[in-house]
């Protein structure tokens, strides 16, 4: 695509904006370069058309590798539409002084709200109650079983980053007792810290997973953790599916070795283990904790603001800090 004279040009490795109403605002400020012909290899396209590109927009599915960075010698800034950074070679970015902006905390409130919703739903059997009423069996079967109280529960947060902190804020209003595990103890946090997730599970009624997924956190919720959590224990996962050994969790749920689960993420999405479909102590969601209409709109504002900041040499709104 030809660049408009006078407007800064961007490489868009994923289409942007996603929301049509932002199109005008965006194209009034920037001109975009994109690989229209997907038969041309990415490297070739970058080397041919992007030698002067100073900024790019990337998403969660396009890895930014050393090879890609090698093809973009003028790059100064990567603006991501996602929060996760595991697909970005941050060492190489740092070495080249390429700034990386991510979605920051735009989604944290939504994810935290959803986590609390899943927790209330599992404890109070809300989706199950909704099925009961919709099936028309209330007048026939009468009483629906009692649920368990949220207020006063001991809740362990696995990963106390921006999402985990928002979860904790909300849980305090429900009079829950909060503790956490995290890579390191956070000095400014008043909650009990556990160095490992087995101890956290043993001392809590609920685990809420907000960790990012990496080599250390893969299957961090394993059989030992579930045994420690116990037969009344509840797991809420709004992190990533592979934080849990899913096969083992399904077995624990089916056999009553843990009490319930609220799951927004799964190991092999969009495939969900069918053994879960018949269980009333689980609530299942199709990876939707992360965003709403409102936060999606906020993301667009943030991406545009970060690009404006870059091209006018002002401070970024959500830049990744290098160690």
Given candidates 15, 41, 73, 152, which one binds a second copy under the rule CB under 8 A? 152
Ranges within 120-139 binding a second copy (CB under 8 A) = 120-121, 123-127, 129-134, 136, 138-139
48 contributes a contact to a second copy by CB under 8 A: no
Provide the β-strand partners of residue 244: 221
Least separation, in Å, of the C-beta of 107 and a second copy? Answer: 10
Out of 87, 124, 170, 287, pick the active-site residue.
Answer: 287
Q: Does 272 bind a second copy (CB under 8 A)?
A: yes
Three-class SS of residue 283?
strand
Question: CB 166 → a second copy: shortest distance, Å?
Answer: 8
- Ordered DSSP codes for 96-118: TT-EEE--TTTTHHHHHHHHHHH
Measured CA to CA, the distance from residue 57 to residue 14 in angstroms comes to 7
Is residue 270 involved in binding a second copy (CB under 8 A)? yes
Q: Is 181 helix (H, G, I), strand (E, B) or coil?
A: strand
Q: What is the DSSP string of 1-58?
A: -PPPTTS-EEEESS---SSGGGHHHHHTT-EEE----TTS-HHHHHHHH-TT--EEEE
Indicate the helix (H) or strand (E) that contains 68: helix 66-70
Question: Which residue of 49, 113, 224, 308 would you call a contact of a second copy, by CB under 8 A?
Answer: 113
* Binding to a second copy in span 291-310, by CB under 8 A: 291-296
- Residue from 144, 154, 183, 314 touching a second copy (CB under 8 A): that is 144
Q: Is 132 left (phi over 0), alpha (psi -120 to 50) or beta?
A: alpha
The owner of tokens 């070495």 is 95
- Which position among 125, 166, 240, 246 bears the catalytic label? 240
Q: Which of residues 190-219 bind a second copy (CB under 8 A)?
A: none
Binding site for a second copy (CB under 8 A): 109-110, 113-114, 116-118, 120-121, 123-127, 129-134, 136, 138-139, 142, 144, 146-152, 169-170, 172-175, 269-272, 274, 277, 283-286, 288, 291-296
Active site residues: 240, 269, 287
């Amino acid at each position: 695509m030809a660049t408009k004279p006078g407007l800064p040009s961007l490489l868009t490795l994923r289409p942007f904006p996603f929301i049509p109403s932002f199109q005008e605002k965006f194209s009034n400020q920037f001109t975009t370069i994109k690989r229209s012909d997907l038969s041309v290899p990415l490297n070739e396209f970058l080397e041919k058309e992007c030698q002067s590109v100073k900024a790019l927009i990337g998403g969660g599915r396009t890895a930014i590798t050393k090879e890609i960075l090698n093809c973009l010698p003028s790059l100064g800034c990567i603006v991501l539409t996602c929060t996760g950074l595991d697909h970005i070679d941050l060492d190489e970015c740092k070495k080249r002084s390429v700034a990386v902006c991510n979605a920051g905390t735009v989604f944290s409130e939504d994810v935290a709200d959803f986590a609390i919703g899943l927790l209330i739903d599992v404890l109070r059997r809300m989706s199950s109650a909704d099925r009961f009423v919709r099936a028309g069996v209330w007048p026939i079967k009468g009483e629906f079983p009692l649920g368990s109280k949220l207020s006063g529960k001991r809740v362990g947060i696995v990963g106390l980053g921006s999402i985990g902190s928002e979860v904790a804020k909300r849980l305090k209003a429900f009079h829950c007792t909060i503790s956490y595990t995290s890579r390191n103890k956070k000095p400014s946090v008043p909650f009990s810290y556990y160095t490992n997730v087995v101890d956290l599970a043993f001392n809590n009624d609920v685990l809420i997973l907000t960790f990012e997924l990496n080599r250390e956190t893969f299957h961090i919720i394993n059989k030992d953790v579930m045994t420690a959590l116990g037969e009344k224990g509840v797991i809420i996962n709004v992190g990533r599916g592979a934080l849990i050994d899913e096969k083992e969790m399904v077995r624990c749920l089916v056999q009553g070795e843990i009490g319930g689960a609220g799951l927004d993420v799964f190991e092999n999405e969009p495939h969900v283990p069918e053994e879960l479909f018949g269980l009333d102590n689980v609530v299942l969601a199709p990876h939707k904790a992360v965003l709403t209409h409102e936060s999606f709109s906020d993301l667009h504002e943030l991406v545009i603001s970060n690009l404006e900041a870059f091209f006018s040499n002002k401070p970024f709104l959500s830049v990744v800090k290098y160690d």
